[in-house]
A and B are shown apart, each in its own frame.
Chain A
Amino acid sequence: MNRAIRRLSLACLVLFVALMLNVNYLQVFRVNTLASEAGNSRTFDAQFHNQRGEIVAAGGPGKQVIIAESRLIKGGIYQRYYPHSYVYAPVTGYDSIYGSTSAFGTTGIEHAENNLLAGTAPSLAVHNLIGLISGKSRQGATVYLTISPAAQLAAYQALTAMGKPAAAVAINPSTGAILAMASFPTFNPNDYATLDSRTLARIDNRYRRAASQPLLNRAINQTFPPGSTFKIVTSSTAFSTGKVANENAPIPAPQFYHLPGSSSVLTNDGGAPCGNGNPPIVFAFTVSCNTAFGKLGDTVGGAALHQYANLFGFNNPNLTIPLPVSPSNYPPLRDPAQIALSAIGQFNDAVTPLQEAMMAAAMANGGKLMRPYMVSEVQAPDLSVISQTQPAELQQVVSPQVAAYVRTMMLSVTHNPSGTAYATAGPPATGIAIAGKTGTAQNGVNNTNLDDAVFTCFAPYSNPTIAVAVIVKGGGFGADAAAPIALKIIQAYLGQH
C-alpha cells in the first residue's frame, strides 16, 4: 500500500504546486489587468489615496504650465484640479471618479495616458515596488506635452471671442509636435473632478444633453468640408504627376465649367471669370478659381487624387496623437463630375482641423509629413524619464520641389493684393510672413446653411516653425472668419505682432 500512498503524496504535491503557481500568477502577473477591470471597487477607492501625476504644457515659448494636478483636500484624499479650467479642456480631457474603473471615466490625455498618470503602468512597476517597501502611497507619472501655453491660450481666447462652433490646431511642421488644440464650445474639466457621484451624474448629464456638444473635441473628432483648401492637394497631385510643370504654368480656367456627364455648371465665386481663361496655376490658386481646379481634378483623375490625399493623411482610421483622431475622408471616385467637385473640396470630402494643419505642415516641411504627437516626455515621480517621443516621419507626401511650388502659391494667397487672405493674413494685417490657403465650404441641404470658414497656413515663410488650421462652422468666408484666429495663434507663438 505504501507505493500507492507515495504516489498519492506526489499527486498532493502536484495539487499544491498548481495552487501556488496560480496564486503567483494571480497576485503578480494579473494585478494590473484586474486592477483596471471595469467596476473594481478597490481601485475605485484607492484612486483617492494615490496622487495622480501632473499634466504639464511644456511646448514653450516661456515657462511650463501645469494644466492638471492632484491636490490633497482632506484626510489623505486627493482631488483632480485643472488650474486653467476651460483653456486646455480638449487637451487634458477630464478624470472623473470613475477614471480607474470605467473606460468612460476619463477622456483626452487623462484617458490616453491613464496608466501612467495613475501609476499603474508596467513601466512604473519597479518604482511602485520601491514605494511599497518604503511605505509611500502610489504616485503617478508626470506627462509633459508639446502644447505651447501661449498658442493654446491665444487659440482658446480667439475661438471664444468668435463665439461659433470652431476648432483650431497648431503643429510644428518640422517635428509634428502639436502646439495648440482648441475647440469651442468646450467644457470645464473641474466639473468632472467632483468626488460626489450624484453631482457628477448631474453635470455629466447636462453636458451630454447640451445641443452645443461641449464635450466634442472638434479639432480631431469632427470633420468638415475642406472647401478650397483642398486645392493644396489637387495642385500637389498635378505637380507630382507632371500634369502641371511648375507654379507659373498656365491651366485652363473657363468662366463656366460644365461638369462632365452632368447638367451642373461649376462657377467661380460670384460667377466671375478666372483671369484670361488660361492663367498660371499660381493665379488660379491665389484667387481660388473653382473652374480651374475642378477641371484640373478631372485632368489628374480620381485615382491620383485619392493616392495623394492618402499621402497627406486622409482615410487613416488609426492615427493617434495619442488621442484617437477621426479619419478625414477623401473617397475613391470614378464619376468625372464628382471628381471635379471633390478636387475643390466639395462632394464627400471631409477633414478634421488637424488634417488641415497637417496639409500646411507637410508643405512647410519640404513635402515631408511628420507624425503629429502631443506627449513629449513622461517622468516617473523620482524624475527619471520613462519615455520620450522622438519626432517620426509619417511619409514624404511630395518632392521638396513640388512643396516649394505649393509654398510659393500659398505665399501668393496672402501677399498678392488680389489674394483671398491678403487683407486678413497678409502685409496689411501683420509683419509676419504667413503663407496659407482659404476655404469657404458650402454645406447643408442644398447648401442652405452658412458656409464653413477654413484657413490653413504656416509661418514664417522662409523658416516655418508653426502650421495652423482653423475651421469655423458657419463662419462664412474663410479669410474673414478663420484667418484672423490663425493669425492670433501665430503671433502668440512667435511673440510678434
Chain B
Amino acid sequence: MTALPSAAATMPPRGGLPVAMPRGRRGTELAMLCFAVVIMACAYASAGLGLNGRIPSGLIVYAPGFAVLMAAAHVTVRKFAPWADPLLLPLAALLNGLGIVMIYRLQQSGRAGNPGFQISTLTTHAASYQLLWTVIGVAAFIAVLIVIREARVLQRYTYTLGTIGLILLAIPAVLPSSLSSVQGAKVWILLGGFSIQPGEFARIALAVFFAGYLVAKRDVLSLAGRRVLGIDLPRARDLGPVLVVWAASLLILVFESDIGTSALFFGLFVAMLYIATQRTSWLLLGILLFLAGSYGASVLFSHVGERFTIWLHPFAGTNPTDAAYQLVQGLEGMAFGGIFGTGLGQGQPFHTPLVQSDFIISGFGEELGLTGLMALLLIFGLIVQRGLRAAVAVRDPFSKLLAGGLAFVLALQVFVIVGGVTQLIPLTGITTPFLSQGGSSLVASWIVIALLMRVSDSARRPAPQPIQDEGLTQVVRAG
C-alpha cells in the first residue's frame, strides 16, 4: 500500500536532528475506499441475483452515486485533514454501503415477484432514502472537517452544546405522543412525513459538553475523599454532577421508555469521567448506580421488567409468538444462516419485525452468516480501536476526552444492540451505527467519524519544524 509517496516521509529532515515523520497515508485510504465501494457494488448485485436472478437495474445509480460520495469525502480529507487516520473513512464507507444493500434487499422482499413477504414498515423508496441520508451524512462529515479545524475549538461551546444536548434529549419527552412516539419508544420528533431521533445528535453534543466540563473540573474530581475498602470515594459535594446525569438518564428511561439511549448516555458520562480522573472509584460507582437504576426500573415499570423476562425466557409459554416474537425471529434467522449464511436475498429476514432498523444485525447474520457477522464486528471494533488510538496519541486533553468518549460510546452502542439481538444482554431498541435504516443515526455516525478523524489528524500532524534558514526564530505551537 505505498501508492503515493508521501511528501513528508521523503523530505530530508532539516536541522541537525532526524525527526520521525508520520505519513498521511491518504493513498492507502483511497485504495481501501475503492475496495469498500467495490464490495458495496458486488453486494448490491449479489442481493439482486439472490432475490430474482437478475442484477438490479438500480446498480448503475447506487454504486456510482455511492462512489462519488466517498470520493468527495476522501478529497475533503486530503485537503482538510491530511494526517487523519486512513482506516476510519473506508471502514465507515463499507458499513454504510452494506447498510444500503441490506435495506434495498429488505425493501424488495415480496415485491415485484421476489420471494418472501412484503415488509409493511418499509416503503419502496427505503433504499433511495438511505442513499439520500448518506448524502446528508457525508455532507455533515465534510462540513465538520471544513468548519472545525481543531477539535479543541469546540471547548468554547461547552455549555452551549450541553444545553442544546439536554434540550434535544428532552424534546421527545415533552412533545405529545402523536409527535414523538413510534412503537412505544418516545424518542422521535415527527413532523409531517419526516422523523428525527434527536437523541443521536444529543449524544455528540453531550460528549462535547462532558469533555469541556471534565477538562475544567478534573482536578477537583480527582481529589480523594475517604478511602473505604481500598477504594477512594469522591467527596460528597463532587458527586453532584454525577447524580444529575444519573437522574437525567433515569428520566429518559422513564419518560421516553428508552433503556438503550439512557444506557449509552450514562455510559458515555462514566467513561469520560473515568478518563478525566483515572479513578476506578468513579467507574465502580457509575456501574453500581446504573445497575441499581435498571433494577429499580425493572421492578417499578412493567415494560422494563418485561425486557428481562424476554431475555431470560424467550421460548417460554406464549413468548415466542407474543412478547419475544421479534427476538425469537431474529435468533432463529441467525441460526438459519449458520456459519456461511444463506446469501444476500436468499434468507427469510422478513419474518423479523423491524429487521431494517434495530434488528438489522440479525438480517446480516441470516444472510451473511457467522462469517459476515464476525467481519462486521471486526469493522466496528477497528473503528473503536482507531478512535481510542487517536485519543491516546493526541496531546490536547479536551480532544483526548472527546475522542475517547465518542469511541467508547460507539463500542457500547454496538454492544448494547448486537448483544441485545443475540440474547447476550436484555434487548433494548437502539440503532446499529451506519447499518440501520434511519437518517439521524447515519448522519450522527458520520459526524462522529469526522470528529474522530479530526482528532487523529491533530494527533498525527507532525510538529512544525524550526526553519533554521530564517535564523533563530522561536516556534510557538499554536493553541
Interface mask (A1-34 → B, CB under 8 Å = 1, otherwise 0):
1111111110111011011101110111011011
Residue on A with the closest CB to B278? A4
- Asked whether B333 is an interface residue with its Cβ less than 8 Å from the other chain, the reply is yes
- Asked whether A37 is an interface residue with its Cβ less than 8 Å from the other chain, the reply is yes
A180 to chain B, nearest CB (A): 40
Q: Which of B276, B332, B415 contacts A37 (CB 8 A)?
A: B332
Tell me which residues from 412 to 455 in chain B have a Cβ below 8 Å from any Cβ of chain A.
412, 414-415, 418-419, 422-424
Q: Which of B328, B334, B392 contacts A26 (CB 8 A)?
A: B334
In the complex with contacts A8-B271, A27-B370, A37-B320, A19-B404 CB distance below 8 A? no
- Cross-chain contact A5 with B392 (CB below 8 angstroms): yes
Interface mask (A103-140 → B, CB under 8 Å = 1, otherwise 0):
00000000000000000000000000100100000000
Residues in B neighbouring A1, C-beta threshold 8 A = 275-276, 278, 397, 400-401, 404
- Asked whether B384 is an interface residue with its Cβ less than 8 Å from the other chain, the reply is yes
- Cross-chain contact A8 with B274 (CB below 8 angstroms): yes
Q: Which of A15, A28, A34, A46 contacts B411 (CB 8 A)?
A: A15
A433 to chain B, nearest CB (A): 58
Residues in A neighbouring B365, C-beta threshold 8 A = 23, 26-27
- Cross-chain contact B380 with A16 (CB below 8 angstroms): yes
- Cross-chain contact B339 with A28 (CB below 8 angstroms): yes
Residue on A with the closest CB to B373? A23
- Asked whether B157 is an interface residue with its Cβ less than 8 Å from the other chain, the reply is no
Residues in B neighbouring A18, C-beta threshold 8 A = 415, 419, 424
Residues in A neighbouring B391, C-beta threshold 8 A = 5
A307 to chain B, nearest CB (A): 43
Residues in A neighbouring B277, C-beta threshold 8 A = 4
- Asked whether A388 is an interface residue with its Cβ less than 8 Å from the other chain, the reply is no
- Cross-chain contact B332 with A132 (CB below 8 angstroms): no
In the complex with contacts A12-B411, A23-B377, A42-B423 CB distance below 8 A? no
- Cross-chain contact B337 with A27 (CB below 8 angstroms): yes
Question: Within the assembled complex, what's the spacing in Å between the Cα atoms of A360 and B462?
Answer: 96
Question: Within the assembled complex, what's the spacing in Å between the Cα atoms of A24 and B332?
Answer: 14
Residues in B neighbouring A15, C-beta threshold 8 A = 411-412, 414-415
- Asked whether A35 is an interface residue with its Cβ less than 8 Å from the other chain, the reply is yes
- Cross-chain contact B404 with A8 (CB below 8 angstroms): yes
Interface mask (A26-66 → B, CB under 8 Å = 1, otherwise 0):
11101101110111111101100000000000000000000
Residue on A with the closest CB to B405? A8
In the complex with contacts A1-B276, A5-B275, A19-B331 CB distance below 8 A? no
Chain A interface bracket (under 10, 10 to 19, 20 to 34, 35 or more): 35 or more
In the complex with contacts A8-B274, A8-B408, A19-B419 CB distance below 8 A? yes
Question: Within the assembled complex, what's the spacing in Å between the Cα atoms of A79 and B145?
Answer: 61
Most buried by A among B336, B384, B419: B336
Tell me which residues from 303 to 348 in chain B have a Cβ below 8 Å from any Cβ of chain A.
315, 320-321, 328-329, 331-340, 347-348
B175 to chain A, nearest CB (A): 33
Residue on A with the closest CB to B424? A22
Residues in A neighbouring B407, C-beta threshold 8 A = 12
- Cross-chain contact A9 with B388 (CB below 8 angstroms): yes
- Asked whether B369 is an interface residue with its Cβ less than 8 Å from the other chain, the reply is yes
Q: Which of B320, B370, B381, B400 contacts A38 (CB 8 A)?
A: B320
In the complex with contacts A8-B388, A12-B408, A23-B365, A35-B336 CB distance below 8 A? yes
Question: Within the assembled complex, what's the spacing in Å between the Cα atoms of A8 and B374?
Answer: 22
Residue on A with the closest CB to B397? A1
B394 to chain A, nearest CB (A): 10
- Cross-chain contact B335 with A3 (CB below 8 angstroms): no
- Cross-chain contact B334 with A39 (CB below 8 angstroms): no
- Cross-chain contact A23 with B414 (CB below 8 angstroms): no
Residues in A neighbouring B404, C-beta threshold 8 A = 1, 4-5, 8
Identify the 8 closest CB pairs spanning chains A and B, nearest first: A34-B335, A27-B370, A12-B411, A42-B336, A15-B415, A22-B424, A4-B275, A16-B381
Question: Could you show 12 A-B contacts with beta carbons less than 8 Å apart?
Answer: A1-B397, A5-B404, A12-B385, A13-B381, A23-B373, A24-B374, A28-B338, A34-B336, A41-B329, A42-B333, A42-B347, A42-B351
Can you add 19 more A-B contacts, CB < 8 Å, to A4-B277, A16-B414, A18-B419?
A: A1-B275, A1-B276, A1-B278, A5-B275, A8-B274, A12-B388, A15-B414, A22-B422, A22-B424, A23-B365, A23-B373, A24-B370, A26-B334, A26-B365, A26-B422, A35-B336, A37-B320, A42-B348, A132-B338
What residues of chain A have their CB less than 8 Å away from a CB belonging to chain B?
1-9, 11-13, 15-16, 18-20, 22-24, 26-28, 30-31, 33-35, 37-43, 45-46, 129, 132
